[in-house]
Structure formats: C-alpha cells, structure tokens
A and B are shown apart, each in its own frame.
Chain A
Amino acid sequence: MIDRVVIRFAGDSGDGMQLTGDRFTNSSALYGNDLATLPDFPAEIRAPAGTLAGVSAFQVHISDHDITTPGDAPNVLVAMNPAALHSQLDRVAPGATIILNEDAFDERHLTKAGYDADPRRDGALDGYTVYEVPMTSLTKGAVTPLGVKPRDAERSKNFFALGLISWMYTRPVEPTLEWIQRRFVARPDVAEANTAAFKAGHAFGETAELFDHPYEVHPATLPAGMYTNITGNTALAWGLIAASQLSGMPLFLGSYPITPASDILHELSKHKNFGVRTLQAEDEIAGIGAAVGAAYGGHLGATTTSGPGMALKAETMGLAVNLELPIIVIDIQRGGPSTGLPTKTEQADLLMAYYGRHGEAPLPILAPRNPGHCFEVAIEAARIALTWRTPVILLSDGYLANGSEPWRLPDVDSLPDLSPTFATAPNHVNADGEPEFWPYLRDPETLARAWALPGTPDLMHRIGGLEKEEGTGNVSYDPVNHEEMVRIRAEKVARIAESIPDVEVTGDVEDAEVLVVGWGSTWGAIDGAVSRARRAGHRVAHAHLVHLNPFPRNLGDVLRRYPRVLVPELNLGQLAHQLRAEFLVDARTVSKVRGLPFTAAELEQAIVDHLKEGA
C-alpha cells in the first residue's frame, strides 16, 4: 500500500494520452482518491508521428490524503514510444517505474526520437525500474480476432496501457468499461476493440510475472459531501450559469475560439435549457462587443479568451468602463507574447489586466486558485460586475483550465442572491418640474450608476464612449467634469474593497520569517512548498490573493507584518511590481516562465534559499 503516486502517460499526439489520463483520473476520483492533474500537450493537433515535437503527456497525482498539486516528479512513466521516453525522462523521479511500449523501440522510431543508441541498452535507464511490454502487438492480438483491421487495431493500444495501469493501481474496472460503451456508442466496433484492449492490458498485469504485485492507494479522507471531478474551464462555465440563475439574468457569452479558453464556449453551448445564449463571434472584438450589447439589454454578458484575445478586447473594455455596464471578461492565460505557447500555462497577463487599456480605466481583477474555485470566483465576478456596473477581469490560466481535481459540490441554496436593481421610474426632476431619467445618477454607497433597460417606458437615454456629464450622462467636454468622472470611476472600483474578505494568512501566522504571497493557480504549489519548508524547521506564512484589484483592505498590514515577502509567479515579477508600487514593501520575486506550473519542491528550495541569502 502506498499513500500517493504520480503517474505520467506520454505518447504521440494521436495516441490518445489525454483520453487515457482523463479516464484513469475519473476512475480514481470515483474510487475516492484526492487527485490533481496536469495535461501537457503540444499546440499542433498532430505533429509528425514519433517525433519529440509530437509528444503529448498527461500527469495525474492520486493520493489517500488532501493534495494540492499534480505532483513534482512522476513515480511512474508510461512511454508509448522512444520520443515519449526521451522528452519525459528528465522529469521523472529517481528510481521511478518506467513502462515502455517495447514494440515502438525499433531503429526508425529511435532515430526519429533523436536517439543515437537504444536507451534501454546503453545505461540511460540505469537506476529506474523498467518494464518493457509489447503493447502494440498484444493489443493487436486481442483486437484482430474481433475482425478489426491491424491498422485500426493498433489504435486501441492506449486502452491496453490504461488497463495495465488500472491493474497496477487497483482501480475499479467497471466505470471504465461502462464509459467505453457510452463514449463509443455510435461505433460499436470501436467500443468492442477498446474494451478488448483494456481487458487485455488488465489481464497482462495480472498474469505476466513482470510486476510482483499491484499497489493500492486508499481513498482520501476529505470533508464530507458529494464530489465530482472538475476542470477549471468547466467550473467557470458552471459558475457563469450559476451567476445567471442567481441574478435572474440570462447568460450571454460572446466568444471566439482560442486555446486554452474554447472549452468554456463548448461547455456553455450545451446548456441552452438554462437560457444560455452563446455566440461564436467573427473575432475577439465582436465577442466582447456582443457581450456589451447583451449587457445593455439586461443579460449577464461574458466573454472568454486568452492573452492575444485580451489585447484585442482592450478597447471594448474601455468602452464598458465608460458606459459603466457589467460584463465578465475571462482570460485563460497562456505563454506569450504573441502566439507564444498556446497550450502551456503562464501568469503574465496580470499587468495587462491592471493597465492594458487607454486612458484611466481601472477594473476589478480576480483570480481563482484551483479548478473547483473557478466556480466560486465566476459568481464573485458577477456579483462585483452587477453591483458596481463594471467590467470585471477574471484571470485563470492553462493549468487551471485543463487540470482537474475533486470538487465538493456547493449547496445551491447557500449561493448568494445577485439580482440587480434596474431603474423603472424617473430619478430626477428638471428645472420645469418635469420628471426625467439621469443614467449617471449614482448610488451614494457604491457609486454604481442608475441602470435602465431598453424597453422601459419614459427612461429613454443615450450612452456612449464620449465623456459623460456626471448625473445627466450627456456628452461633456468640460475639463473639470472629465477629471471628476475619472476620479469617480477609480473611486467606484476602490470601494469594492469594502465588500471583499480580508486576505487570510496560513502557516506561521505569528512569527514567520518570510511571507509567501501568491495569486491564482500557484496556490497548490505554494501551499505544498510552505508545508514542506515548515516541516524542515523554517517559519513560513502564506497569503494567497483572489482579489487583485482592489486588494483586500488588510493586505498592506499583512505585508508589513513579516520581515520578508516572497512572491512566486509564472512571470517575471508582475504582482511583486504591483505590491512594491502600492505598499512600498521589498517584495522579492520567484519567477518561472517555462509554460509549466511550479513544483512544490522548487518553491521549497526557493524559500529556503531566500532565507539563507539574508541570514
């Protein structure tokens, strides 16, 4: 019995590794393990077969206790070909188990993978426990009797691998067999072949004498409740639907396909029975434009994108700031600039979220910390947008988007009421004593402007991108009015802080030598690193920001309470820059911009190094 294991499936883009990993994850979730996943695939749909560029991998960390990351180094690598082995070997833990598809290790594949010599024979794999399994031929052997052509038969080899690993880790078999039937319902021959391959892999584990025994990772002890396994993108989609239900406003998503955000569009387009309207727009600009138009009409307007799309949407965000209309802008950050690393994760759009618009155009910014948290943060984004009549930016990233974890379902009845108040009657009396409607009369507390929907009698008014006169909303070129409006829009966003919770500090709250401050998806790795550093005897605290603009009111006090502040980010120090500017603290950066999340081990090392440095 073991308490946790990190398994990495790697093969060609066409080998079905994402499917295999996903399926293993789901049967582990149903079994009750805690888990976290890291899909890692190339931008090309099918890079040349057998090459390093075409390797697609899926890492899953399963555990009998609460875990927060997909694991640093895999304990098990399943390599479907030499390229998979070559590209992944340096990530693998010392002494790890490596399971190779023996059939793919011929000279042609070895050359394609950039091997001069066979790594199985030249000592490259010394120190690892290597199992060579002829997966291709065993799969063919199991599948061809069903009448499947040899070429097609080979395609089922990922199910052979899945069967084998399922046996090794004592996963329940039934959920996968049932899933195969459902998934391939339209192709009974494929369902039959995959079932046969899966069973063959399972039986191979049981009967071959290669493996001495299966491992067991017991179910984790998690807080009581009903759980489902969820990715960040699905959680965002469901969060938007929830926000629509809670506000009573139909959801309108204007979006243009872009990796890694498209799955939100896909998910939402399935749920039309919730009154969800999705528009696959002609471009990024039209996506957000349509969302603004729908918001003007009283729908919950949202747009989803990644960095390059954010750049294109910037002008329309500026319009929404001026119109003071609520929309939710979701940026699934990826490696940039430009096309960059479309399928890899990064956190380098933060300063763009703060400052990437023309004029003084402050916006609230939020960042979820793990896949399940995306649900909650989508609702929070809607709460802020609707209460303050402002666009809100939600920064997720590629890691949260595709990574999954068990998520305890919230009690639907406990979710907040988000119904906005629309103007239905004139709110002002003109000089002649006539009632009239002023769209820029504000709520004295929130500074939110009056919001009248088209269709409301007697409240006809015009809004636009030209500067407004405070109150009437008429076009105004008055210099004093412009400054007043700039300050009001800034103050309105600043006041949101009054409604957000203080940032919590965990770890050595009282006497930490260093406070580690993070935001967004680095939460799991930082949490793991802080725990490890504390176990090693260091005094470390952790504060994680969900609200990035405005910051929680206590953040300044928290930052000044500790002698050192360390900010790990998947960029060159954007939050640290902001913290320094706002609070005059000596925040230090731990950077990583490799398209990969932090590992807990490397952050632990960074914390320890930092403490040594100034000691």
Chain B
Amino acid sequence: MSDTTIPVTTRKDWTSDQEVRWCPGCGDYSILAAVQLLMPDLGIRREDTVFVSGIGCAARFPYYMNTYGMHTIHGRAPAIATGLALARPDLHVLVVSGDGDALSIGGNHLIHALRRNVNITILLFNNQIYGLTKGQYSPTSEVGKVTKSTPFGSLDHPFNPVSVAIGAEASFVARTHDMDRQHMMEVFRRAFEHRGSSLVEIYQNCNVFNDGAFADVTAKEHRADMLIPLRHGEPIRFGADGERGVVIDTQHGAHLVDVADVGEDALLVHDETRDDPSVAFMLSRLATGPHEPTPIGVFRDVVRPDYGEGVNQQIAAAQEQRGPGDLGALLRSGATWNVN
C-alpha cells in the first residue's frame, strides 16, 4: 500500500451485494474469504481487477467479488481470459475454475494458457467430484470411485493437477487447501504477484458429494504428518518434529525418508526457481492421492517471458519501424493503377 494513489479498501469493498449461494459448509466459502481478505492488501484497484470463470460451483465466484467479472462457458475461461489479458495488460485477470472445468472440458485451454505464459492467475478448486451436476466422478477422482455415473466404480486414472501444470511447463505452480486460510492467502499472493501464468490447486471439500476427500491430509490432527510444506531454499522435511524428509537419488527419484536414517544434509533443498521442471514434477508425484504425505506450497516459480509483453513488444517494434498504421497507404500497398 505504499502507492498513495491506490485507495485503502477493506474486505467489504471487495464483496459484491449478491447473496452467496454455495451449499452451507462448502469449502468455497473459506476460499472466497481468503481472496476477499487478501485483495485489499495487493495494492490494486477493484476496477482494474477481473475475475473470469467457466462453469461449475466454483465458477459462481466472480458474482461475489465487487470487481469486474465474467461467468463464461464450461472449460473456456482460460481462453477468454487470454483474450482479455492480451487486450488489456493494465488489468489483473484471475481465473476461477474447478477440476472438471479446468481439467476435463477445458483441459486444452488450461495447458495452452500455461505454456504461453499469459499473465493470468488461475485458482483451481479441486474437490475431485462434479458438484453442480450432482455428483459424477471427475478427472481428479480416484480410481474405483463409486458415483451416480460409475455405480461399479470409475475406471479412469486421475490427473494430478500440479503434475499437469508442471508438465505444461507452467512458470508458477502451487498447492494449498481450504482448511488453512493463512496458507491460502500466502500462496494466492505469490501466485498473483507472479508475472505470467500461475496455477494454484486448492484442495476444496465438497461436503455434499465428496465429503472428507482431503481430510486424511488437511484435517488439523493430520497436517503435521501428512502435509509436506515446500519452502524455497530450505530442506524439505515434515512431521511434528521434522523427523521425515524428501531425498532424490538417481535410482528412485524423489522419495520419503526418515531424516535420522539419511542425515539432514542428504535432504533435498527446495528450489522453486529451477528452470528444469523435472524435480518439481518428481515432488508432485510423491503422493498418489490425498491419503499419503502430500507436498503443499509453491512447487515452481520461474521467470519466463510473459506472452502479452511479447505481443506488445512486437506491436511497439512494428510501430517504431513502420510508424503507426496509415489506412490509405495500406490500401495502396499492392500494385495499383489509375483509371482516368
């Protein structure tokens, strides 16, 4: 808030007058609260902020923010946000999406937005279920999931959203969960401040159709043993006394160890800024699902050219070289002749 031209705001200023209509007890409430609490602290104006969403429970998010907003089409939010961000680099464009929206119907747009590194912040609410359509399995549901559309259990192997994003070489990838407001706010801030595409997976509880999907790792009593906090520049360790940790060896890749067995110096020191995404990818594979010790925090934060900046540089260079466009000259630019 050092910039005096930005008015001081509170959570209330960022809250729209629309009644929030998620199911009581939904994890979306705590995510909305974290975002609304964070916004006044980001040093930006409400009118310069746009939330873009697709379809799904999470996609109602823009209606609840007193900013500009667009609730669009299932899966297409990253594409629509790409157009907006390229047209208006002065805006802060955030995309709110769910696991079905981002990874099923919109999977293509997601990976291409990440690969291009368009300057947008993507919040991916992962509840491992289709909520709005009332309880079908999603592309992040575990194998064998019994739902209305899979009475004999689902056969599909799930996506790990963080792995997908790192595979697409996203320049910023993080994970957080809806039970820890402080952690969410820290990660959201980092994602927002990152230049280029950033993706945050948020473990979000759907208490109606998939209650407790993440409880094994996010419940207060399990967190110390089941969440592996990633902190840049620090050895990766977890457990109530930091007794467990992560090492990488050439035979087994990244895996969990007891620190006592290998010694502190053997632990992998987390480096978010490593250009090569393969270590971040290995970290994303430590857990096969939210029932095993799972890393949270920022997996990757690297500097890559921002697509929109490149677009604008090409325009500026063309104008520099050829001057601003002259329509009459354009029409005469081919071979011309006069008829008298």
Contacts and interface: CB of A to CB of B under 8 A. Distances in A.
A292 B70 CA distance: 11
Contacts of B87: 250, 252, 277, 293-294, 297-299
Given A409-B332, A462-B63, A462-B71, A289 B325 contact: no
A475 B19 CA distance: 11
Nearest to B322: A273
A319 B72 contact: yes
A464 B88 CA distance: 19
B82 A293 contact: yes
Contacts of B88: 297-299, 454-455
Interface in A27-52: 29-30, 32
A177 to B, nearest CB: 14
Contacts of A466: 71
Contact of A462 (B45, B70, B311): B70
Contacts of A458: 47
Nearest to B80: A293
Interface string B144-176: 000000000000000000000000000000000
Nearest to A245: B327
Chain A interface, DSSP helix/strand/loop, else mixed: mixed
Interface in A259-281: 271-277, 279, 281
Contacts of B84: 293-294, 296-297, 454
Contacts of B47: 454-460
Nearest to B86: A277
A279 B315 CA distance: 13
Nearest to A220: B339
Given A225-B338, A456-B47, A291 B83 contact: yes
B202 to A, nearest CB: 21
A291 B72 CA distance: 13
Interface stretch (A110-118, A227-235, A520-528): A227-235
Contacts of A254: 79, 83
Given A289-B73, A297-B84, A462-B63, A454 B79 contact: no
Contacts of B73: 289, 315-316, 319, 465
B71 A228 contact: no
Contact of A455 (B48, B317, B328): B48
B332 A289 contact: no
Interface in B81-114: 81-88, 90-91, 108-109, 112
Contacts of B109: 282, 285-286, 289
Interface in A385-440: 408-410, 412
B63 A464 contact: yes
In this complex, which of B45, B46, B88, B90 has the most chain A Cβ atoms within 10 angstroms of its Cβ? B88
A250 B52 CA distance: 21
B334 interface: yes
B244 interface: no
A257 interface: no
A294 B86 contact: yes
A275 B315 contact: yes
A457 to B, nearest CB: 5
Given A461-B68, A465-B72, A224 B340 contact: yes
- Most chain B CB inside 10 Å of its own CB: which residue of A272, A277, A459: A272
B339 A222 contact: yes
B263 interface: no
Contact of B86 (A245, A279, A282, A456): A279
Contacts of A273: 315, 318-319, 321-325
Contacts of B63: 462, 464, 475
Interface residues of B, number: 60
A457 B49 CA distance: 11
Interface in A339-396: none
B331 interface: yes
B70 A464 contact: yes
B337 A279 contact: no
Interface in B55-71: 55, 62-63, 65-71
B70 A238 contact: no
Interface string A229-257: 11000000010011001000010101000
A123 interface: no
Contacts of B72: 289, 292, 319, 464-465
A373 to B, nearest CB: 15
Nearest to B311: A277
B132 to A, nearest CB: 12
A379 B314 CA distance: 26
Nearest to B68: A454
A175 interface: yes
B336 interface: yes
Interface in B285-340: 311, 314-315, 317-319, 321-325, 327-328, 330-332, 334-340
Nearest to A250: B87
B76 interface: yes
Contacts of B108: 282-283, 286
B46 A460 contact: yes
A292 B83 contact: yes
A274 B325 contact: yes
Contacts of B335: 26, 29-30, 175, 228-229
Contacts of B71: 462-466
A286 B50 CA distance: 19
Contact of B325 (A275, A315, A474): A275
Most A-side CB within 10 Å, residue of B62, B73, B311: B73
A463 B79 contact: no
Interface in A292-327: 292-299, 301, 315-316, 319, 323
A293 B48 contact: no
B86 A290 contact: yes
A359 B27 CA distance: 33
A32 B337 contact: yes
A230 B333 CA distance: 11
Nearest to A281: B79
A271 B325 contact: yes
A226 interface: yes
A537 interface: no
B101 to A, nearest CB: 13
B287 to A, nearest CB: 30
Given A241-B325, A454-B50, 15 more contacts: A29-B335, A225-B338, A226-B337, A227-B336, A227-B337, A252-B87, A277-B87, A277-B315, A279-B82, A293-B79, A295-B83, A408-B339, A455-B47, A464-B69, A465-B55
Give 6 nearest A-B pairs by CB, closest first.
Answer: A464-B71, A293-B83, A290-B83, A274-B325, A289-B79, A293-B84
16 contacts: A30-B335, A32-B339, A224-B340, A226-B332, A227-B337, A245-B325, A272-B315, A273-B325, A274-B324, A275-B315, A277-B87, A290-B79, A291-B83, A297-B87, A461-B68, A463-B71
Interface of B: 16, 18, 45-48, 50, 52-53, 55, 62-63, 65-73, 76, 79-88, 90-91, 108-109, 112, 311, 314-315, 317-319, 321-325, 327-328, 330-332, 334-340
